[in-house]
Amino acid sequence: MIYSKPNLILLLILCCFTTGKTVAQMTPTVVNLDEDVSSISVIQMMDFYLDTTSVYDIDDVAAPSFQDRFQKISDPHVIYDYLDAALWMRLTVNNLQDSHTKSWYFESWGFDIKNISFYFPNPDGSFAESTAGFDLPFGKRDIHHKNFNYLLNLLPSEKKTYYIKVNRNYNQEFVFHLRTNEKFISHSLNEYLLLGIYYGVLILILIFNLYLFFSLKDRLYLYFVCLILACIWFSLGRDGFGFQYIWPNTPWINRLTNENFIEFFIILATLLFSNRFVQKYTKSDKVIKFTYWAILVKMAFFINQLYFFELYYITYISITILILLVPFSLGLRSLAKVNIYSWSYIMAYGCLFLVIMYSYSKTIDIFDNPVLNWYFVYPVIFLEMVLFSFSIFRQIKFLQNEYIVANRERALALEKNNQLTLEMNTKLKEKVKARTEEIEAMAADLARKNVELQTTNLKLQELNSQVSQMNKYLEENNHKLQVNMKQVNQDMALMKGLDFEDFKNVFPDKDSCLKFLSELKWKERYICKKCGFNKFTNGPNHSKRCKSCNYLESPTVDTLFHKVKFPIEKAFYMLYLSNRKDIELTATELSEILELRRETCWTFKNKIALAMEKVDHNIELNGWESLALVHLE
pTM of the predicted structure, to 2 decimals: 0.57
Displacement of CA 480 from its chain's centroid (Å): 71
The CB density around residue 366, as the number of other CB atoms within 10 Å, is: 11
pLDDT of residue 366: 64
Which pLDDT band holds residue 24 (cuts at 50, 70, 90)?
very low
377 by DSSP, 3-state: which?
helix
- Residue 498: the pLDDT is 62
Task: Please provide the average confidence, as pLDDT, over all residues in the chain.
Answer: 81
Write out pLDDT tens, residues 387-422: 888 888 887 888 778 788 888 888 888 888 888 888
pLDDT value for 288: 87
- How far is Cα 237 from Cα 393, in angstroms, rounded to an integer? 30
* 8 Å CB contact between 544 and 537: yes
- Which among 43, 53, 296, 69 is positioned nearest to 175, based on CA atoms? 43
pLDDT at residue 143 greater than cutoff 60: yes
Q: Cα(300)–Cα(304) distance, rounded to whole angstroms?
A: 6
Mean pLDDT to the nearest integer, 489-509: 65
Which residues, other chains included, contact 357 with Cβ-Cβ below 8 Å and sequence gap of 6+?
317, 364
pLDDT band at 106 (very low <50, low <70, confident <90, very high): very high
Rounded to an integer, the average pLDDT of 94-108 is 85
The predicted model gives 42-70 an average pLDDT of 90
- Looking only at the bridges linking them, the beta strands covering 30-33 and 86-95 are parallel
Within 8 A by CB and 6+ apart from 400, the residues are: none
pLDDT of residue 2: 36
Residue 383 is predicted with a pLDDT of: 85
Query: Whose CA is closest to 576, among 554, 593, 553, 555?
Result: 593
Q: How far apart are the first and last CA of the chain?
A: 139
For residue 481, what pLDDT is reported?
A: 63
Query: Is a pLDDT exceeding 80 seen at residue 465?
Result: no
Q: Band of the pLDDT at 348, cuts 50, 70, 90?
A: confident
Mutual orientation of helices 343-358 and 259-281 as an angle, nearest 10°? 170
DSSP for residue 136: S
Ramachandran category for residue 54: left, alpha or beta (phi over 0 → left; psi -120 to 50 → alpha): left
Q: b/e map of 196-207 (b: 16 or more CB within 10 Å)? A: eebbeebeebbe
User: Nearest to residue 542, comparing CAs of 519, 573, 569?
Assistant: 519
60-64, 344-348, 376-380, range with greatest mean pLDDT? 60-64
Most confident of the following: 313-322, 336-345, 537-546, 582-591: 537-546
User: Can you give the pLDDT at residue 546?
Assistant: 93
Amino acid making up residue 54:
S
**What b-and-e string marks burial along 574-610, b requiring 16 or more CB atoms within 10 Å of the CB?**
bbbbbbbeeeebebeebbebbebeeebbbebbebbee
Query: Quick one: DSSP state of residue 529?
Result: T
For 592-613, the DSSP string reads HHHT--HHHHHHHHHHHHHHHH
Q: Is the pLDDT of residue 49 over 90?
A: yes
Q: How many CB atoms lie within 10 A of CB 439?
A: 14
How far is the CA of 177 from the CAs of 70, 234, 472, in angstroms?
20, 26, 127
Q: How far apart are CA 428 and CA 419, in angstroms?
A: 14
Least confident residue range of 179-193, 310-324, 438-452? 310-324
Mean pLDDT of 509-519: 87
Distance CA 606, CA 612 (A): 10
